[in-house]
Amino acid sequence: MNQKPAVLVTGASTGIGAVYADRFARRGHDIVLVARNTTRMAALAERLRIETGVNVDVVQADLTDGQDLARIEQRLREDQRIGVLVNNAGMSLPRGFLQQKGEDISRLIGLNVTAVTRLAHAAAQRFAERGEGAIINVASVVGLAPEMGATVYGATKAFVLFLSQGLNVELASKGVHVQAVLPAATRTEIWEHTGVDVNTLKGVMEVDDLVDAALVGFDRGELVTIPPLPDAGQWSTLDTARQAMLPNFSQSQPAERYRRAA
């Protein structure tokens, strides 16, 4: 029996999720692949079994479907082998906010926010009871940059960052490691779905490089890992400034600047 915890990876048929599955398999972890595309997952599973010798389960699921999402939640709650959740599945939308359709926005939020939260919740309960486990949430630098224009997508990724920070506050003392990974432009199929030719973009990171860097941050126990950011001090400065405001939020009266007419 494999003594290392199994790793459940969502969005595992291609891109970032597939590379996470590959890297954890090469570390000797059994893998549970979750995605919609069974054919791609089957091919990946077969390769990983041959190349690494680990056990690989393939679970077809559309995480925007309530029944499918509930099945994966149940797997996380009941499968005692699983000790790492890679919350990677996500989507984006083409065009700007004014051109997007309401039903598409709802589906985006369903995958990027609702599914991520519910799967983290299902995993966290068991991990906390056991006193160990890890949750990796794939967010995005877009969640820090409304100027990039992907309004709803960026808002969902800002949520994932906040969720990860909040989970860390609640779970770190219980032995659960939470990591938020914030990629910038990465060479994945998400660009095709939004009608953008990735080859026209500058500064696009290869998926292998992204995941390898993210795993360096994971091994170091980082809460927030931003693979493209050269100066870690910039994130530290931002986070320190945020924390410096916290004592000023507890006030019985509005700040003086709001107690006089403009």
Residue 246 identity: L
Q: Residue 206 and residue 186: Cα distance in Å, rounded? A: 6
Instruction: List 33's β-bridge partners, or say none.
Output: 9, 58
Residue 153 designated active-site: yes
DSSP calls for 114-154: IIHHHHHHHHHHHHHHHT-EEEEEE--GGGG-GGGS-HHHH
Q: Residue 59, Cα to own-chain centre: how many angstroms?
A: 19
Q: In what order do the strands lie in the sheet with 82-87?
A: 56-60, 31-35, 6-10, 82-87, 133-138, 176-181, 224-225
Extract the tokens encoding 33: 């692949």
Neighbouring CB atoms inside 10 A of 194's CB total 14
- Residue 91 token pair: 């989507």
Q: Which of 20, 24, 127, 153 is catalytic?
A: 153
Burial degree of 63 (CB within 10 A; 0-12, 13-18, 19+): buried
What is the C-alpha separation between 191 and 213, in angstroms, rounded? 21
CA nearest neighbour of 66 among 16, 26, 106, 29? 106
Active-site positions? 153
